[in-house]
Chains A and B, each alone.
Chain A
Amino acid sequence: NAGVTQTPKFRVLKTGQSMTLLCAQDMNHEYMYWYRQDPGMGLRLIHYSVGEGTTAKGEVPDGYNVSRLKKQNFLLGLESAAPSQTSVYFCASTPPGVGYTFGSGTRLTVV
């Protein structure tokens, strides 16, 4: 039982490049989330999904897109990376009524 797995763990992008972060969970959770964490800022919600085929915007959605084609996977895309998107990205999942399970994070640097 792996829980929530994020790939890749580290990535360096050049400004304007695109990439996709993958989040996979094997707990059959309905809800999945993408957060970003910047120094001194806590975690801020980017996008979330309440089920397969659904997505919704969170607190800081600009510059990101997401897809939930399969229940176990939640993808976060950056179409044209900017230095302001340098951050640590965390994925989380939960069934209704209990706490989040987080992945170990993806450290992204945009130069």
Chain B
Amino acid sequence: LAKTTQPISMDSYEGQEVNITCSHNNIATNDYITWYQQFPSQGPRFIIQGYKTKVTNEVASLFIPADRKSSTLSLPRVSLSDTAVYYCLVGDSLNYGGSQGNLIFGKGTKLSVKP
């Protein structure tokens, strides 16, 4: 399973764009990159998933360079409600639950958005 490294914490202000980078040097060919958001006292919530290049949805964008050894979650114009912990996970999404498919949650990045 590919290990991920991401910053422990980040600070931002309302209205700014926030980019959180995750390193995953040992990513495998079948691995996808998935980001989750967790608010206090809640379970993590799926944000976005990608394999290469760029993925965008109504919440965020995910940028993945050609070598796939890192990825960047981009949150446009953050608000106070985006204050949360963000987790980057790498794993074979087509084999969730199998011996090669369990996703490992690290400690995540604690994003604090200030007014």
Contact = CB atoms under 8 A, between A and B. Distances in A.
B94 A103 contact: no
B43 A97 contact: no
A12 interface: no
B44 A43 contact: yes
A92 interface: yes
Interface string A34-53: 01000011111100111000
Contacts, number: 63
Interface string B90-115: 00011111100011111110000000
A96 B106 CA distance: 21
Q: How large is the interface on B (under 10, 10 to 19, 20 to 34, 35 or more residues)?
A: 20 to 34
A77 interface: no
A35 B36 contact: no
Interface residues of A, number: 29
Contacts of B34: 99
A72 B22 CA distance: 34
A50 B99 CA distance: 10
Among B104, B105, B107, the most chain A Cβ lie within 10 Å of the Cβ of: B105
A90 B43 contact: yes
B29 interface: no
Interface in B4-59: 34, 36, 41-46, 49
Interface string A44-81: 11001110000000110000000000000000000000
Contacts of B87: 42-43
A4 B46 CA distance: 14
B38 to A, nearest CB: 9
A66 B71 CA distance: 35
A43 B49 contact: no
A31 B92 CA distance: 14
Contact of A42 (B96, B97, B107): B107
Contacts of A92: 43
Contacts of A41: 107
A101 B115 CA distance: 31
Closest A-B pairs by Cβ, 5 of them: A102-B43, A99-B46, A31-B97, A43-B105, A50-B97
